[in-house]
Structure 1
Amino acid sequence: MTNPTNLSGGAKSASGASASVLSYFRWAFIITILGLALGAWLGWQTTGTAGGTATIFFICCVLAVLEISLSFDNAIVNANKLKTMTPKWQRRFLTWGIIIAVFGMRIVFPLMIVVIAAKIGPWQALVMAASQPDEYARIMHDAHLPIAAFGGTFLMMVGLSFFFDHEKEVHWVRWLESHMARYASIRGVEVAVVLLMILGFSQLHDGAAAQVFVNSAIWGLLTFLLVEVLGGLLDRVQQDTLSTAAKGGIGAFLYLEVLDASFSFDGVIGAFALTQNLFVIAIGLGIGAMYVRSMTIMLVEKGTLSEYRFLEHGAFYAITALAVVMYVQTLFHIPEVITGLAGALLIGIALWSSIRWNRRHGHTHGAE
C-alpha cells in the first residue's frame, strides 16, 4: 500500500489518526460551489429570468446527486484497482484520469455520438448542442441501444470476472459465489455466460435492432478482452523496463479509464431525461465525478475495503445488476433514480453484513 500522503497530499497527524472524512471531500466541495455558480450564471444567460435560473441550478444539483448515486460501485472498484498500482500511476489516475472522466466522458463523448450518428463535424455538433438542444437530445436518444449494449456487456464482464475467480476465498452469498469460484477453472466460462445473455436478449429485439444489439454487445466484449490483454502486455513491458518491478501501471490506468467510461454511459444518456443542455449536463455530472474521485481516495487511504470484507462484493453485485439494467433498458425505459438506488442498496447491505461479521468475529474498526 502506498503512503497516505501519495494520493490526497494530506499528511496524517503525529498521533497517527487518519484524516477526517470531510477533508477528503475538500476539492469536491470547492468544485460543487464553482459548478453550481456556473450553472446559475448559465441559467441566467439562457433564460434571463429568476425562475429559469433556479430551474437550471436545481437540475445541476439533481444531476450531481444522480451521478454520485450511480457511482458508489465505481469508486469501490477504482479503489480496489488503485491499491495495486504504483504511487506514480495512482497520482496520474487521480489527476489525468479525472480530467478525462469529466471533460472526456461528460463533454467529448456525447459530442462524438452526435458526430458519428449525424455524420457532422465536432464543431457543428457543438453548435447543435447550443442552438438545437431538442435535435441533439433526439440523436442521443436514438443512439441509446448500441451504447447500452456495449456498456452493459463491458460491465457484465467486469462483474463476472470478480466472481469467476478460482483464487477467491471470501464469499458473501456463499451458496452462489462458492459455485462460481469452483467453475472458474473452466477457461472462458464468464465469456460463455455473457454470450448466452447476448443471444437471449437479442431474441427480444426485432430485425435491425437485434443486429445492432448483437454487434454492439460483441464490441463491448472484445473491448474488455482487448483492454485485459493490452493492460497485461503494457504492465509486463513496464516491469521488464523498470529496475523495481512495478505492478499496476499504465495497463491498470487504461482499464480504469475504460471502466469509468462504461459507468458513465448510463448517467450521460439518462441526464437527457432532465435536460437537453449539454453544458448543464457537463456541470452536473462533472460535480458528481469529483465526489467519486474523493470517495476513491478515502477508500484507499483509510483501508475501508479491508475493514469491511463484503463491501467489494456489494460493489460487484451492483455492477452486475447495472449491466443487466442496461440490457433491459434496450427494451424499455427504467428511471435512473431506480438504478442508482438499487446499486446503493446493494452496497449498503454489503456494508451492514460486513459490520455484523466484524462484531461476530471480534474485529474492531481499523483492525486488519
Structure 2
Amino acid sequence: MLRIFGWSIVVTIASLIVAFVYGGWEAFALCLILGVLEVSLSFDNAVVNATVLQRMSNFWQQIFLTIGVIIAVFGMRLVFPLLIVGITADLGPVEALNLAMEKGDPETPGTYGYLLNQAHPQIAAFGGMFLLMLFLNYIFEEREITWLTWLERPLAKIGKLDQLSVVISGVALVLAAELLADDPAVVMVAGVLGMITYIAVNGLGTLFEGAGADEQDASTEVGTATSGPSEAAKATGKAAFFLFLYLEVLDASFSFDGVVGAFAITADPIIIALGLGFIGAMFVRSITVFLVRKGTLQEYVYLEHGAHWAIGALAVILLVSIGVHVDEVITGLVGVAFIGAAFLSSLARNRRHADEDHLIHVG
C-alpha cells in the first residue's frame, strides 16, 4: 500500500503546502476540494485504466505512473486549457498565460474561465465521441462473463454487424450537433476527430499487441497456470507504447469535464493544476496500479462492466452538455452508482460461488 500510494501522499502534502503559501487557507481548502472531486469523479477511469494497464509489463506500468503523471498534470490540467483558450481566442501562449493569471470571473466575457467555457462544446464533442466509441466497442463484444445479462447478450449479438459502433456514434454526433450546438460544424469536426483518435490509437495498440504476442508464441511457450497474464505474455515495445498512448487519450477524455467544471469552484489555474493535477491525477494513477497489483479486477469481475457502463453514461452526459448544462455532481454520482452496483454484484457472485463450492465439498 505504501509503495503504491506513498508518492501520491507525499505529492498531496506538498501540493497543499504550496497552495497554502500561494493563497492561504482559502487556496488550501479549494485545492483539497478539487483533489477529492477529481478522485471521486475518476474512479471509473481508474478501473478502465487498470483493464489496459494489466496487459502491460511492469516497466510500462512504471512509465504510466511517472511520465504519464507528468502528461496528466502539466498536459491536461495546465497546458490543455491554455491551448484551448489560445486557439479559440486567437491568443499567443504568453497572452493566454497572462489572461489565466488574472483569475477573472468565468461569467465575465473575455476572461480565461469564460473563454474556456465557450470552448466546452468542442471539448465535450471530442471527449464524448472518444468515450462513446470505447463504450460501444466494449458492449458489442461477446463475453463469457456478463453483468447485465438481459441487456449485454442481445447487444453482443447485434454487435456482430460490421462497424456498428461507428454508425451509432456517427448518428449520435449528428443529432448532438444539429439539436444542441450553436455551431454544428465546429462540433461535428471535434466529434469526428474524437472518433478518429479512438480508432487510430486503439487500432495501432491492438495491431502491435497482436504482433508482439505472435513473436512471443514463436519463441517461448506462454501459458502456465497463473491467476493472470504472465510477465512474458504482457505487452512490451511498440504494443505497450501504443497502449500507453491509448491510456493517455483515455485519461484526457475523462478529465475534460473535470477541467472545465473546476472553474465553477475557482478560476485560478494554479489551484486547479494543484488540485486536479498533482493531487487528483496522482491518486487516480495510484488507484489504477493498486487495482492491477492486487488483482481486484479478477476478484470482482463485474467492476470492468460497471466502469464501461459508467463511461457510456459519461459519454451521453458530455454530448448532452453541448447544449445543456449538466452539474458535475450528477456526473460523479452516475459513475459511483454504476461502480457501486457492479461491486455489490461481484460480492454476491463470489458468495454464491463460495456456497456452491462448499456444498460440493461437503457432498
Contact 2:300 2:346 in 1 (8 A): yes
Q: 1:241 to 1:100 in 2, by over 3 A?
A: farther
Match of 1:36 among 16, 40, 43: 16
Aligned equivalent of 1:12: none
Per the TM alignment, residue 229 of structure 1 is displaced from its structure 2 partner at its CA by 2.7
Amino acid at match of 1:32: T
Matched, 1:159 2:135: yes
Q: CA deviation at 1:26?
A: 2.0
- What residue in structure 2 maps to residue 145 of structure 1? 121
- Residue 66 of structure 1 contacts residue 337 of structure 1 at CA under 8 Å; is this kept in 2? no
The question of whether the paired residues in 1 share the 8 Å contact of 2:65 and 2:286 is answered with: no
CA contact (8 A) 1:151 1:265 kept: yes
Structure 2 residue 205 is matched with structure 1 residue 231: yes
Deviations 1:110-137 (A, max 9, x none): 1111111122221221111113534111
Distance in 2 (CA, whole Å) between partners of 1:95 and 1:362 is 39
2:97 maps to 126
Q: CA deviation at 1:239?
A: 6.5
State the Cα distance separating 1:363 from its structure 2 match: 7.4
Task: Say if 2:45 and 2:254, in contact at 8 Å, map to a contact too.
Answer: yes
Worse overlay, 272-281 or 328-337? 328-337
User: 2:253 aligned with 1:277, yes or no?
Assistant: no
User: 1:271 deviation in Å?
Assistant: 0.4
1:34-73 alignment, distance < 5 Å: 34-43=14-23, 53-73=24-44
What's the CA shift for 1:328?
Answer: 1.2
Gaps of 5+ in 1: 1-20, 44-52
* Identical columns (%): 47
Runs of 5+ consecutive residues of structure 2 not aligned to the other structure: 106-110, 221-232, 357-363
Give the whole-Å Cα distance in 1 for the aligned partners of 2:215 and 2:65. Answer: 24
Partners of 2:180 and 2:320 within 8 A in 1:
no
**Correspondence list, 1:207-246, <5 A:** 208-235=182-209
Q: Which amino acid aligns with 1:216?
A: A
Matched, 1:295 2:287: yes
CA distance in 2, matches of 1:155, 1:303: 25
Instruction: Give the 3-state SS of the residue equivalent to 1:162 in structure 2.
Output: helix
Moved more, 151-160 or 85-94: 85-94
Question: Are 1:190 and 2:165 matched, yes or no?
Answer: yes
For 2:89 and 2:197, locate their aligned partners in 1 and report how far apart those are by CA, in whole Å: 24
The partner residue of 1:307 within 270, 292, 299 is: 299
1:201 CA displacement: 2.1
Q: 1:172 aligns with which of 143, 147, 165?
A: 147
Distance 1:80 1:214 in 2: 30
* Letter aligned with residue 338 of structure 2: L
Contact 1:150 1:216 in 2 (8 A): yes
The secondary structure found in structure 2 opposite 1:60 is helix
- Which position in structure 2 is the counterpart of 1:361? 353
Task: Answer whether contact 2:140 2:156 (CA < 8 A) is retained.
Answer: yes
Partner residue in 2 for 1:25: 5
Structure 1 CA distance for aligned equivalents of residues 96 and 185 of structure 2: 27
Q: Does structure 2 conserve the Cα–Cα contact (< 8 Å) formed by 1:235 and 1:250?
A: no
CA contact (8 A) 1:234 1:250 kept: no
Aligned residues: 333
Structure 2: which amino acid aligns with 1:160? L
Assess if the C-alpha contact under 8 Å between 1:150 and 1:219 holds in 2: yes
3-state secondary structure, aligned to 2:141: coil
Give the RMSD, CA atoms, in angstroms. 2.0
Read off the aligned partner of 1:212 and give its amino acid letter: V
Q: CA deviation at 1:200?
A: 2.3
Name the counterpart of 2:223. none
Question: What is the letter of the counterpart of residue 338 of structure 1?
Answer: I
Q: 2:240 maps to what in 1?
A: 249
